[in-house]
Structure 1
Amino acid sequence: MTITQPDLSVFTTLESEVRSYCRSWPTVFDRAQGSRIHDEDGHEFLDFFAGAGSLNYGHNNPVLKRALLDYLEHDGVTHGLDMSTTAKRSFLRSFHHTVLRPRDLPYKVMFPGPTGTNAVEAALKLARKVKGRETVVSFTNAFHGMSLGSLAVTGNAFKRAGAGVPLVHATPMPFDHYMDGQTPDFLWFERLLGDHGSGLDKPAAVIVETVQGEGGINVARPEWLRSLAQLCQAHDMLLIVDDIQMGCGRTGAFFSFEEAGITPDVVTVSKSISGYGLPMSLCLFRPELDVWEPGEHNGTFRGNNPAFVTAAATLDAYWADDRLEQQTLAHGRTIEAALRDTAAHHSGSAYRGRGMVWGLELLDPLHAARASRRAFELGLLVETSGAHGEVLKLLPPLTITTDELDHGLRIAQRAVHETA
């Protein structure tokens, strides 16, 4: 594909230097549908980025678009703060009947603000309020958001440095596989908890991702997660699962922790919960933890009613049965097979993932960046992740067709081979 240099002057002149994704994909996008996105010059790209996990059901999903247009055409409430609206009622009822009740999950639902980091901030504040303690334990290579509380429990040094102030009241521990199996799980953590001379203030909570997406597609084993849940219970710490990128079916089941058979005390959800890419997030927690005073945590845009509409339509369309889950798992096996084949041709590489989130770690960190750029030239959007950008990260829409998936994987393989 030949991509002529677009006119980017308005962006380079007026927009802040903080912009990032547009540097990796230097074109001006114009429209999108399903698993494909087009630039203004008519070039078509398969999307293995999916809005960083916000578009699990593809771009402009027709079922969700119809629900949204009907709502807007009838002058439905768009901005409602936390007022009661018909759109919020429909979502809450659908979420309870379709997601929570079938899984025997007792959670109360909080709308903390429109983004994932809002949900994380609410979870951290609630844990500290409930337990009366300040420290929260996080894990190596974690990513939980870009606001100060979320950055404090994030591992990436580059992102943490942007805070400009000390990031306190958080202590990192080794994530699963971090010590390459040389140390028993949680040996260091348990030793610190049991030693009054360790210097570790008793934590209010532990926050964890079951799959570290930004950290390099690091997958926690179910038994590791179960042991963590038991450790939290034994030491009176709340377990917070950050399911912002891995929830909403990305790993197969609606929640990524279901495979491990655990019930976290608090769960954060965002990205694909609206189904349509509209800003929305949830903080879910056990009823006995609901100690908030009215208005103690709030936000102007926590009542995004158009997002409630598409979220309810998503649940009705895709989560009334297990067809999407089974399709996701089948597609995941296809991705795994392709990455296995690719890794076999590149010494020092490794692949890992679950469901439809996979990563190919390459020996040379710059190889992943080169492969991402080459994939763009060949008509595929795919990003990198990991502490050094060493992992090519595959995150296609869950609704992608088999032919589209196969085509995208062939492009990814070609890009890796040609840039080795």
Structure 2
Amino acid sequence: MTITQPDLSVFETLESEVRSYCRSWPTVFDRAQGSRMYDEDGHTYLDFFAGAGSLNYGHNNPVLKRALIDYIERDGVTHGLDMSTTAKRAFLESFQRTILRPRDLPYKVMFPGPTGTNAVESALKLARKVKGRESIVSFTNAFHGMSLGSLAVTGNAFKRAGAGIPLVHGTPMPFDNYLDGRVPDFLWFERLLEDQGSGLNQPAAVIVETVQGEGGINVARAQWLRELADLCKRRDMLLIVDDIQMGCGRTGAFFSFEEAGIIPDIVTVSKSISGYGLPMALTLFKPELDVWEPGEHNGTFRGNNPAFVTAAATLDTYWADGQMEKQTLARGEQVEEALRAICDEHTRLGAEYRGRGLVWGLEFTEKSRASAIARRAFELGLLIETSGPESEVVKLLPALTITPEELDEGLRTLARAVRETA
């Protein structure tokens, strides 16, 4: 693909230096549909990024777009704070009917604010309020958001440094296989909990991702998650699952923890819950934990009614019959087969892959190779990002609605990018 230099002057002169994704993809995007994005010069890009996981159903999904346009055209409420609206009622009824009740999940639903880090902040606050303790345990290479409470339980040193102040009341523990299987699971954690001289204050909760997306596509085993849930129960700690990127079907089931057969005390959901890329977040928790006073946690934009509309349409369209999970797992097998072939072709580069459902990572011995592959993929018309503490993992995050043909096209482009940067 030949790409002419786009006019980026206003972005470079007026917008903050903090911008990041636009540096990896130096073009000006104009429109998008399904798994394709188009820049203002007419170039087409296959999207294996999906809005960092907020576009599980593709760009401008026609079913969701129709529901949104109809709602706007009839002057439906846009901004509702936490007032009762018909749009919120429709979402809550659909969520209960389609997601919670079939899974026998008794959760109360809280709208904490429009972003994932809002959901995490409210989860941490609630856990501390319920247990009357400050300490929260997180895991190595975790990522939970960019506000201060979320950063305190995030592992990435670069992101933590941006806080500018000490990040306290969070203690990291080894994630699954962090020590390459040389130490029994939770040996260190259990020892610290039982030793009065360890210096670890009794935690209020443990927060975990079942698959660490930003941390490098680190996949926790179902058995490890079950043992963690058991440890939390035995030691009087709440279990918080951060399902912001891996929920809403990314790993197959609607919630990523379903495979392990556990029921977390608190679950955070955002990104693709609206289905359309509109800001929306949920904090779910067991009824007995609902100890909030009215207004004790709030936010001006927690009632994003257009997001409620598309969220309800998403659930009714894609989650009522159980087919989405089967399709995602089938697409995941297609990705795994292609990544296995890439790794077989590039054994001398130390190529390895890992993932679940439709989230996958490709890693090489030379850490800088991932960024080179992502750059070449962009030149070839494929949008992929990197993840991991040193951006050492090529991260594949296509829409769940991508067709087999589009998926094959993107995987062939990825293989070419690997080959041409080897």
TM-score range, shorter chain: over 0.9
After superposition, the C-alpha distances for 1:210-256 in whole angstroms (9 at most, x for unaligned) are 00000000000000000000000000000000000000000000000
- The AA in structure 2 aligned to 1:153 is V
Looking at structure 2, the residues matched to 193 and 241 of structure 1 have their Cα atoms a distance apart, in angstroms, of 20
**1:364 equivalent among 366, 369, 377:** 366
- The AA in structure 2 aligned to 1:299 is G
Residue pairs, 1:6-405, within 5 angstroms:
6-346=6-346, 347=348, 348-405=350-407
Instruction: Give the total of aligned pairs.
Output: 420
Secondary structure (helix, strand or coil) at the match of 2:183 reads: coil
Shift of 1:321: 1.1
After superposition, the C-alpha distances for 1:328-374 in whole angstroms (9 at most, x for unaligned) are 00000010011111112223121000000000011111110010000
After superposition, the C-alpha distances for 1:112-142 in whole angstroms (9 at most, x for unaligned) are 0000000000000000000000000000000
- The AA in structure 2 aligned to 1:51 is G
Aligned to 2:4: 4
Secondary structure (helix, strand or coil) at the match of 1:109 reads: strand
Shift of 1:324: 1.0
Looking at structure 1, the residues matched to 390 and 366 of structure 2 have their Cα atoms a distance apart, in angstroms, of 10
Shift of 1:169: 0.1
Looking at structure 1, the residues matched to 164 and 345 of structure 2 have their Cα atoms a distance apart, in angstroms, of 43
Looking at structure 2, the residues matched to 153 and 282 of structure 1 have their Cα atoms a distance apart, in angstroms, of 19
- The runs of 4+ residues in structure 1 deviating greater than 4 Å are none
Secondary structure (helix, strand or coil) at the match of 1:365 reads: coil
- The AA in structure 2 aligned to 1:358 is W
Shift of 1:82: 0.2
- The AA in structure 1 aligned to 2:10 is V
After superposition, the C-alpha distances for 1:388-411 in whole angstroms (9 at most, x for unaligned) are 111000000000001000000000
- Structure 1 runs not aligned, ≥5 long: none
Secondary structure (helix, strand or coil) at the match of 2:368 reads: helix
Secondary structure (helix, strand or coil) at the match of 1:119 reads: helix
Secondary structure (helix, strand or coil) at the match of 2:30 reads: strand
After superposition, the C-alpha distances for 1:64-93 in whole angstroms (9 at most, x for unaligned) are 000000000000000000000000000000
Secondary structure (helix, strand or coil) at the match of 2:99 reads: helix
Looking at structure 2, the residues matched to 416 and 287 of structure 1 have their Cα atoms a distance apart, in angstroms, of 49
- The AA in structure 2 aligned to 1:230 is D
Looking at structure 1, the residues matched to 76 and 144 of structure 2 have their Cα atoms a distance apart, in angstroms, of 33
- The AA in structure 2 aligned to 1:374 is R
Looking at structure 1, the residues matched to 206 and 386 of structure 2 have their Cα atoms a distance apart, in angstroms, of 27
Looking at structure 2, the residues matched to 336 and 388 of structure 1 have their Cα atoms a distance apart, in angstroms, of 23
TM-score by length of 1: 1.00
Identity of aligned residues (%): 81
- The AA in structure 1 aligned to 2:280 is M
Looking at structure 2, the residues matched to 283 and 160 of structure 1 have their Cα atoms a distance apart, in angstroms, of 23
TM-score by length of 2: 0.99
After superposition, the C-alpha distances for 1:7-62 in whole angstroms (9 at most, x for unaligned) are 00000000000000000000000000000000000000000000000000000000
- The AA in structure 1 aligned to 2:162 is G
Looking at structure 2, the residues matched to 339 and 386 of structure 1 have their Cα atoms a distance apart, in angstroms, of 18
Secondary structure (helix, strand or coil) at the match of 2:362 reads: strand
After superposition, the C-alpha distances for 1:267-312 in whole angstroms (9 at most, x for unaligned) are 0000000000000000000000000000000000000000000000
- The AA in structure 2 aligned to 1:64 is L
Shift of 1:416: 1.0
